[in-house]
Structure 1
């Protein structure tokens, strides 16, 4: 009887995750499914044969570098929080936010370069898909910037430190996810434009 009770107790403690972290992971899975559907539709529509051939603007190369660098800076914020170096953590959070804004500005400049090439949202499906893919990613990045702002406010109120990392960990996870998602989109668009 005691063995059965201890086994049940052990099974109950095998998997513990903060409910908000679990919700974040579910949300990220749904985002993956959304982009899988969009990129699959892109490939199917491209096979129809009526597809505008164009070059991706070079500014997308720069935004890719920016998003990778911002991910490194976000990881540094987490590292400094674990060591209770609060001032450095705050600086890294702010640098992450600034780089995220730089990424969004770069994406906007990329859209302008596309218009100069004659690639529009309406007209050819190639342009439509490009704007939708980058726009939906940009929207998610804006949500991550809001998340960073919430965490930064908490950090300035000394609510983020080595004993209270859940919020920052979730923010970093989401930020890294969006960086990886952009790199996937960038490679996909580079290989399939």
Structure 2
């Protein structure tokens, strides 16, 4: 075959090449999961340092513990249910049930929004006691830990919005599978982080 015929060959029209391109597009999954794992590893290091700082600050003589708002128990329950709903959405994606995916993603998002609203109410409840962050190190650390967690969960909600929008728009299940899987992993991670934070707060 001459060089001219090689140059004139429309390789993108060749079935084998098209299949190869499609296979490459599927490679986004491992890359995205690796990226998420790296991101969570960085977050874990940061959260760990804050927890260590919290425990060290507790040892100071001027530390006055605060009564954790009882609403935190309700918020914890909401986040647990949100994680369960997200896992159910992932299972529905694997089963190819788009209607169930839509409903379960929506439920997970609503529960997560309820958690964030509940955290705001918990801060308001704490401020009502007269303990402000500038006056009480314990209050400052409480708002720091809960605020950081809420901020990162809110970031996850942005990805959830995109996945949910695509699901309700009628996109094929296989095209939203990766987004749902990533959201599920992240939600489980944020639940674990919150359980650690909540335990640390309760112990003080």
Q: Shorter-chain TM-score: which interval?
A: 0.7 to 0.9
Aligned length: 177
Give secondary structure in 2 for the equivalent of 1:165: helix
Q: Which residue of 2 aligns with 1:40?
A: 52
Larger radius of gyration: 2
1:186 aligns with 2:186: no
The answer (yes or no) to whether the contact 1:83–1:162 under 8 Å persists in 2 is: no
Cα distance in 2 for residues equivalent to 1:160 and 1:110 = 40
State the alpha-carbon separation in 2 of the partners of residues 40 and 139 from structure 1.
20
Paired with 1:26 and 1:105, the residues of 2 have a C-alpha distance of: 29
Task: Determine which structure has greater relative contact order: mean sequence separation of CA pairs < 8 Å that are 6+ residues apart, divided by chain length.
Answer: 1
**Which whole-Å CA distance do the structure 2 matches of 1:17 and 1:95 have between them?**
25
- 2:101 paired residue among 72, 78, 89: 89
| Aligned partners of 1:160 and 1:168 also within 8 Å | no
- Determine the structure 1 residue equivalent to 2:162: 150
2:150 is matched with which residue? 138
Distance 1:32 1:119 in 2: 29
Identify the match of residue 110 of structure 2 among 98, 114, 128. 98
Q: CA deviation at 1:158?
A: 4.0
Distance 1:164 1:142, change over 3 A: closer
Deviation at 1:118, TM superposition (A): 2.2
Confirm or deny that 1:51 pairs with 2:51: no
Cα distance in 2 for residues equivalent to 1:91 and 1:66 = 17
Instruction: Summarize the Cα distance change of 1:77–1:191 in structure 2 as closer, same or farther, 3 Å threshold.
Output: same
Q: CA separation in 2, counterparts of 1:71 and 1:160?
A: 23
Q: Does 1:25 align with 2:28?
A: no
Q: Are 2:46 and 1:61 equivalent residues in the alignment?
A: no
CA offsets 1:12-55 (integer angstroms, 9 cap, x no match): xxxx9711111111111111111100010011111112112221
Residue 72 of structure 1 is matched in structure 2 by: 84
Residues 164/104 of structure 1: CA separation in 2 closer, same or farther (3 Å cut): closer
Root-mean-square deviation (CA), in Å? Answer: 1.6
Q: Which runs of 4+ in 1 moved over 3 A?
A: 157-160
Equivalent residue for 2:182?
Answer: 170
The residue aligned with 1:7 is none
CA distance in 2, matches of 1:65, 1:87: 25
Query: Is the contact made by 1:81 and 1:160 (CA closer than 8 Å) also made in structure 2?
Result: no
